[in-house]
Amino acid sequence: GGKDAISTTIINFNNEKMQITWATRELFQNENVSFFYTFGEGKHKVWKPCTTYLLDQDYNSGCLFKTEGPTLAFSIRNSNGSEELFSKILKVDFYIKPSPPENVTFFWEEDTVTVSCNKPERNAWCLRLELQHKSKFDKEWQNRTAKCCSIREQGFDPRKCYSFRVRLRRLVPYCNVVNYSSDWEAETFWMNGTLLDSCDDDVTPQSETIIVLSCSLAVLLMVLILLILLCKWIQMSVLPAIPDPKYPFADLFNDHNGNLQEWLDKNDHVVLQTKLEYEEPESITEAESQQEDGKNSDKSGPLEKIFTFPGAAENNDSKAAEIACLIPASNTMASFAGFHILMNDDMYVML
């Protein structure tokens, strides 16, 4: 193509340095071109060769040099500079990329924040201050732009942590032909007017507090359960269980309202019958054995009895009388503590 078809990128860094780049591999394949520039005007221009080249795979792809005037003319030539491949003249002020804002301050007043920065010395009216902020709950940045060099924004939640960043932007098309903005100033983190190292600072202490409280509650709960189990164990192993008399003697409390004498009078025969029914098997067995022995004795010979001899009365009157009192009469009914016992001559009563 012709000389005007070559695409270049022109940046004037805050009116201090110029950077001009071109697409080397697309425009000048297998050829290393040279770059010349001048800030002079008129027919007697003094061309300066580029001293600082930008490289792309060892090929010259741009030049970086100092801004020395309002009008720039540059020429891209072949490797030895004998043939011009592209040239252009431009006003450098229309390609300015501003520097990041300096001395950025944040002033908090309840839910409102005012962000300010130093005002540039030249063409401050061409600049706009751009503010972006977001909380940890926001997916995208919230954007706000105002005249250089102060922005007032409200509606911030004091319970949230916010990230802030600011930059300067040149007006198009009044001041620039290209929409250039400065790099973002270093990101800062704020919560309710307090500067933080990061928004993680407002999460970590709460998380640690929750973890500590949860562990403490779990330990206390375990100790409480162990104490309850220990008390139960002591109660079961050391202290005997006290039976509730309400269940074995339900009729005493339900029918007689706890009147023991009335209950005894009414249930005297029942107690006797229960006592006889639940007599120990050994006693019953022993009694049956004694009865069998008695029957066998009757068959074998006369029953041995204790008699009082007339000749022994002189020396053992009292003893014989005692023995005689202990021998009950045959088929005698004896009463003791409300119980009626049928006694025969094979039974002995020990007093």
Are 159 and 120 in a shared domain? Answer: yes
Residue 339 lies in a domain: no
Phi then psi for residue 181, to 5 deg, are: -125, 160
Residues 56 and 119 in one domain: no
If asked whether residues 90 and 141 sit together in one domain, one would say no
- Answer for the pair 135, 161: CB distance below 8 angstroms, yes or no: yes
CA 341/CA 275 separation, integer angstroms: 13
Residue 192 domain boundaries: 105-196
261-308 pLDDT per residue, tens: 777 777 765 555 555 455 555 444 554 555 555 555 454 444 344 334
Mean pLDDT of 242-249: 60
Same domain, 135 and 89: no
Residue 275 is assigned to a structural domain of this protein: no
Q: Do 91 and 110 share a domain, yes or no?
A: no
Q: Tens digits of per-residue pLDDT, 77-129?
A: 988 888 888 889 999 999 999 999 999 999 999 889 999 999 988 889 999 99
pLDDT of 286: 52
Instruction: Please determine, for residue 321, whether its predicted confidence score (pLDDT) is greater than 50.
Output: no
Which one of 146, 166, 196 terminates a domain? 196
Q: How does 219-248 read in b/e, with b if 16+ C-beta sit within 10 Å?
A: eeeeeeeeeeeeeeeeeeeeeeeeeeeeee
| Total domain count, the chain | 2
Q: Is residue 258 part of a domain?
A: no
In a domain, 17, yes or no: yes
Confirm whether 273 is domain-assigned. no
> What CATH number does residue 46 fall under?
2.60.40.10
